[in-house]
Structure 1
Amino acid sequence: MIQLKMTSGDSGTETTINICCKNICSITRVLISKIAFVSDRDGNGEIYVMNADGSNQTQLTNTDVFVLNNAPAWSPDGQKIAFASTRDGIVNSEIYVMNADGSNPINLTNNSAFDSQPAWSPDGQKIAFVSDRDGVDEIYVMNADGSSPINLTNNSAFDSQPSWSPDGQRIAFVSNRDGIDEIYVMNADGSNPINLTNNSAFDSQPAWSPDGQKIAFVSDRDGIDEIYVMNADGSNPLRLTNNLATDSQPTWSPDGQKIAFASNRDGGLLEIYVMNADGSNPTQLTNTQGLSTQPTWSLFIRP
Structure 2
Amino acid sequence: MSLRTRFIAVAGLVCTIAVSSALAGPSHLATKPGKNGLIAFKRYSDAQRSTGAVYTIAPDGTSTQQVTKPAQGVIDDQPDWSPDGSLITFFRCPPDASCEVFTVKPDGSAETQVTPGTGACPPVATNCEDGADPTFLPDGTHIVYTRATGEVKHFAAGDQIQHSDIVVRDLDGSNPRILVRSRDYQGDFLGAIFSPDGTRFVYERSNSPVTKPAFGHALFVARADGRGQRQITPWSLGAGDSADWSPNGRLILFRSHEDGRQQSQIYVVHPDGSGLHALTHFKQGTTVLSYSFSPDGKWIVFAKSGRAGQPDIFVMKPSGTGIRPVTRTAVWDSAPDWGPAG
TM-score of the aligned structures, taking structure 1 as reference length: 0.84
Structure 1 residues 227 and 107, CA gap change in structure 2 (3 angstroms)? same
Computed over aligned residues only, the root mean square deviation of the Cα atoms, in angstroms, reads 1.9
Q: Which residue of 2 aligns with 1:4?
A: none
- Give the counterpart letter for 2:287 in structure 1: T
Q: Aligned to 2:39, what secondary structure does the other structure show?
A: strand
Contact 1:66 1:90 in 2 (8 A): no
Q: Which residue of 2 aligns with 1:195?
A: 231
Task: Give the one of 116, 119, 129 matched to 1:110.
Answer: 116
Q: Aligned to 2:135, what secondary structure does the other structure show?
A: strand
CA offset at residue 265 of structure 1? 5.3
CA distance in 2, matches of 1:270, 1:137: 29
Structure 1 residues 42 and 55, CA gap change in structure 2 (3 angstroms)? farther
CA distance in 1, matches of 2:171, 2:294: 23
Q: Which residue of 2 aligns with 1:80?
A: 87
Structure 1 residues 65 and 277, CA gap change in structure 2 (3 angstroms)? same
Q: Which residue of 2 aligns with 1:237?
A: 276
Structure 1 residues 182 and 32, CA gap change in structure 2 (3 angstroms)? closer
Q: Which residue of 1 aligns with 2:65?
A: 58
Q: Aligned to 1:254, what secondary structure does the other structure show?
A: coil
- Residue 286 (1) aligns with residue 292 (2): no
- Residue 36 (1) aligns with residue 40 (2): yes
Q: Aligned to 1:200, what secondary structure does the other structure show?
A: helix
CA distance in 2, matches of 1:58, 1:115: 26
CA offset at residue 32 of structure 1? 4.3
CA distance in 1, matches of 2:46, 2:263: 29
Contact 1:114 1:131 in 2 (8 A): yes
Q: Which residue of 2 aligns with 1:16?
A: none
Task: Give the one of 219, 224, 238 matched to 1:183.
Answer: 219
CA offset at residue 99 of structure 1? 1.1
5 Å-filtered alignment, 1:81-230, equals 81-86=88-93, 90-112=96-118, 113-134=129-150, 135-156=162-183, 157-176=187-206, 179=213, 180-205=216-241, 206-220=243-257, 223-230=262-269
Higher relative contact order, structure no. (Cα contacts within 8 Å, ≥ 6 residues apart): 2
CA distance in 2, matches of 1:217, 1:276: 15
- Partner deviation per Cα, 1:82-114 (whole Å, 9 max, x = no partner): 111135x63311101111211111111123211
Structure 1 residues 32 and 202, CA gap change in structure 2 (3 angstroms)? closer
- Give the counterpart letter for 2:226 in structure 1: G
Structure 1 residues 32 and 239, CA gap change in structure 2 (3 angstroms)? closer
CA offset at residue 137 of structure 1? 2.6
- Give the counterpart letter for 2:224 in structure 1: A
CA distance in 2, matches of 1:284, 1:38: 16
- Partner deviation per Cα, 1:14-43 (whole Å, 9 max, x = no partner): xxxxxxxxxxxxxxxx95411000001367
Gaps of 5+ in 2: 1-33, 119-128, 151-161
CA distance in 2, matches of 1:154, 1:42: 36
Q: Which structure would you say has the larger Rg? A: 1
CA distance in 2, matches of 1:231, 1:201: 15
TM-score of the aligned structures, taking structure 2 as reference length: 0.75
